[in-house]
Amino acid sequence: MTASPLVNQIASQMVEYIRNHGFEPGTRLPERRMAEELRVSRSPVRGALQLLAQDGVVGPSERGGFVVLKSVDELPVSWTEGPAGREETYLRVARDRLNGELPDRITEKELARRYELTRSELTELLRRMTQEGWIDRLPGYGWEFLPMLTSMKMYQDSYHFRLVIEPAAILEPTFELDRPALEASRDAQQRLVDGEIWKVSNAELFDLNSHHHEVIIGCSRNSYYVDALQRIDRTRRLIEYRQTLQREQGIIRCREHVQIANLLLDGDNARASSLLSRHLATVSVEKTAHAP
């Protein structure tokens, strides 16, 4: 399984949770309970459990779900080794791809040599890029980079399109609030406002923010809206790493995320839609004003 930064982060928190509570092998880890304890939605918790199962930390239960497999003494000291180094390598590949320094097709040997990667580091890098939708294995041999937003014109167009669909989705007659998911995402945004924004990487920040927008549009119950935003998020990922706002501005935008969520939770969809429209317009201007 390939893991996004958010899923990796939750997997790490889950290992610490198991350690701190002294869970013995055989202890069940219900998705709902872990989502409540870690204050996130169930989807990334499910991904984290599957990731931990891959490494034998947890395993499937006969009654469904997952159970702890390793004793506290057998748990890894750190879920990820050298995260800062791996993140820098990942972002180097992203920058090189955006700058046209990598060909459309590349072999594992070329990637390993160019970025001085061990076999395990290369495997994890390819897993992550595959999961995040910007590379895919070719039949038989090699890898191919998938289409991504690479120009500022395309990037601006993506925001203009989002300005059309996201505020409209909130006003759809089919809009039905997923309260637990929205509350979990709102709480994650509030933690960013309260200081966590200074601790997360650009990739983690992108995942948290795009997830928040996807939770909201998902409440529209309109698969076309949902699919459109998910496709845009996949194709804009690399350019977002380069255009990420300064953290001071980011705090303001995360605070707006919290405000939009609170309006929706209060049933004021009209004001939420209006604020979301202003939010997207402002972010678009801020991110393109000083484009390289």
Angle in degrees, CA 119, 122, 123, rounded to 5 = 85
Say yes or no to pLDDT of 5 above 70: no
How do residues 135-190 score in pLDDT, each as one tens digit? 899 987 899 988 777 777 888 899 999 999 999 999 999 999 999 999 999 999 99
Give the pLDDT score at 15: 85
pTM: predicted TM-score of the whole model, two decimal places: 0.61
How do residues 190-247 score in pLDDT, each as one tens digit? 999 999 999 888 878 888 999 999 999 999 999 999 999 988 888 888 888 777 778 8
Q: Give the pLDDT band of residue 292 (cuts 50, 70, 90).
A: low
Give the pLDDT score at 13: 82
213-238: b (≥16 Cβ within 10 Å) or e: bbbbbbbbebeebbebbbebbbbbbb
- Domains with residue ranges and CATH for the chain: 5-74 (1.10.10.10), 83-145 (1.10.10.10), 152-288 (1.20.120.530)
Beta-carbon contacts of residue 57 (< 8 Å; ≥ 6 apart): 15, 18, 68, 69, 70, 75, 76
Q: Return phi, psi of residue 143, to 5°.
A: -135, 155
Beta-carbon contacts of residue 245 (< 8 Å; ≥ 6 apart): 253, 283, 286, 287
Give the pLDDT score at 81: 43
Q: Find tokens 């791996």 and name the residue.
A: 86
Q: Find tokens 């004001």 and name the residue.
A: 271
How do residues 39-95 score in pLDDT, each as one tens digit? 788 888 888 888 888 878 888 887 778 999 988 777 765 444 445 567 778 888 988
